[in-house]
Structure 1
Amino acid sequence: MAKLLLLLFTGAKFGKLLLTGGSMLVSVFAYALLFGWRYAVGFVLLLFVHEMGHYIAARQRGLNVGAPTFIPFIGAWVELKDMPHDAETEAYVGLGGPLLGTVGALACYFLARDQDSNLLLAIAYSGFFLNLFNLIPLSPFDGGRITAVLSPRIWLLGVPVLVGLFFWRPSPMLILMALLAAPQLLKAIRYKADSEEAQTYYAVSAATRVEYGFYYLALAGFLAVMTHDVHEMLRGVGAVR
């Protein structure tokens, strides 16, 4: 019986690894059709680094979390099998992805400058932009999970950002994200500071709010600068228009 249980446990873990690895390969194949396999591999690896940031942060807080799963042209996610107990924990897990993702993009950037590689510079740009995009202060983006520790009403600020992005670069993914965000917007509109949820789940100290507000603004500012500067570098070599 013990051997059977061990076999089932091993098989389950192998299945999770197979799902992660298989979905990564499918994503690489899909992106390679449009951008070439080398760019596709780098982009998917940066997605993996981003998701592992969430994974590590969740494990640090004692949450049961699944391995990353990838869907081409949608992105990737890790399944939280245990929901955060409070807004601070949710913000911590939300911050882990763009923080580690930024480190991964920086590694590509420095490697690109060292090797004078436009390919690595393009991959770095995708990483900076991806993590900046995820900081939109609107749930279910990472930015929404981080800023919720301040107040769910901040999600209302993410609406014009999402609308502006759609008019700048129309995309079905933005429509999908808007549909996913709709229930959260309704929650933000109905949010009351004297509600039971506000007094329990969202009850954090002023110092915690200031701390996460600083992390969010600092990371968003840094990513905005790097996204702009790397884009200009790529324009200079004719890699983008």
Structure 2
Amino acid sequence: MVKLLILLLGGLKLGKILTTSGTMLLSIAVYAMFYGWRFAAGFVLLLFVHEAGHYLAAQRRGLAVGAPTFIPFVGAWIQLKEIPHDAETEAYVGLAGPFVGTVGALACYFASRWYNSELLLALSYAGFFLNLFNMIPMSPFDGGRITAVLSPRIWFAGVPVMIALFVYRPTPLLIVMVILALPQLKRAWQYDPSTPENQRYYGIEPSVKVTYAFYYLALLIFLVLMTHGVHDMLAPVHSGFGFL
């Protein structure tokens, strides 16, 4: 597996590494060194399903979008080549990733029960946790993109969540996400709903805001329940995949 990683890094040109297939293979190779190739392949596939939700939603709204790119231990993303037309469009694209990703995790869960597979159960937990993590109401998380339809100021609700996560389990990824979030928090602090540009972008009908608030809370609660439930199911077997 180490040889495969070296070949991927040294034998491929940078342009090819940054393609979906190349970065997927790279991520699988890296994760496989820690968790085994079967879990690695399944986890990267769940990341792909999550990003496919964003990709399809962006295309449906007529936005130019690039294919997913994967970075080991960071995750994956799609590149929007143009800014969403308004906050509702941004929320729509943001919600699609966790929603489709949750469907993928749910498929793993039901398959694990059907086949009595600890591997699939562990993958379902990883999928639920991944999508729950992305629901943090702070940009650049998906949760921040969804809740921005209400107001960018709601991003400050994500600050205590990030602090609690860092106290519970500090990781370099959280530090990176905080660094990325700081300019967005500054933007939220300076947000003036009366300016013409903000009225154009965030001037959404109250009924639409209520609808997205409902979708966000419903998906958030479902992910909390499933993540907690599957965690308890996995705890007795000590699967050792590093997510418990």
Q: What is the TM-score of this pair, normalised by structure 1?
A: 0.92
- What is residue 107 of structure 2 aligned with on the other side? 107
Cα deviation, residue 239, structure 1: 2.4
Aligned counterparts, 1:1-241, within 5 A: 19-239=19-239
Are 1:16 and 1:67, in contact at CA under 8 Å, matched by a contact in 2? no
Cα deviation, residue 51, structure 1: 0.2
Cα deviation, residue 238, structure 1: 2.7
Alignment coverage as a number of residue pairs:
227
In structure 2, runs of 5+ residues without a counterpart are 1-14
Q: How far apart, CA to CA, are the structure 1 residues paired with 2:59 and 2:193?
A: 30
Q: How far apart, CA to CA, are the structure 2 residues paired with 1:193 and 1:27?
A: 41
**Aligned partner of residue 101 in structure 1, secondary structure:** helix
Distance 1:62 1:189, change over 3 A: same
Instruction: Please tell me the root mean square deviation across aligned C-alpha atoms, in Å.
Output: 1.4
Cα-to-partner distance string for 1:128-172 (whole Å, 9 max, x where unaligned): 000000000000000000000000000000001011101111000
Are 1:135 and 1:143, in contact at CA under 8 Å, matched by a contact in 2? yes
Q: How far apart, CA to CA, are the structure 2 residues paired with 1:238 and 1:206?
A: 47
Are 1:91 and 1:145, in contact at CA under 8 Å, matched by a contact in 2? yes
Q: Give the counterpart letter for 1:172 in structure 2.
A: P
Q: How far apart, CA to CA, are the structure 2 residues paired with 1:202 and 1:40?
A: 40
Q: How far apart, CA to CA, are the structure 2 residues paired with 1:117 and 1:181?
A: 38
Identity among equivalent pairs (%): 64
Cα deviation, residue 117, structure 1: 0.5
In structure 1, runs of 5+ residues without a counterpart are 1-14
**Aligned partner of residue 85 in structure 1, secondary structure:** coil
Q: How far apart, CA to CA, are the structure 2 residues paired with 1:50 and 1:216?
A: 16
Cα deviation, residue 191, structure 1: 1.0
Are 2:18 and 2:69, in contact at CA under 8 Å, matched by a contact in 1? no
Cα deviation, residue 192, structure 1: 1.9
Cα deviation, residue 16, structure 1: 7.9
Q: Give the counterpart letter for 2:54 in structure 1.
A: H
Q: How far apart, CA to CA, are the structure 1 residues paired with 2:214 and 2:161?
A: 20
- What is residue 11 of structure 2 aligned with on the other side? none
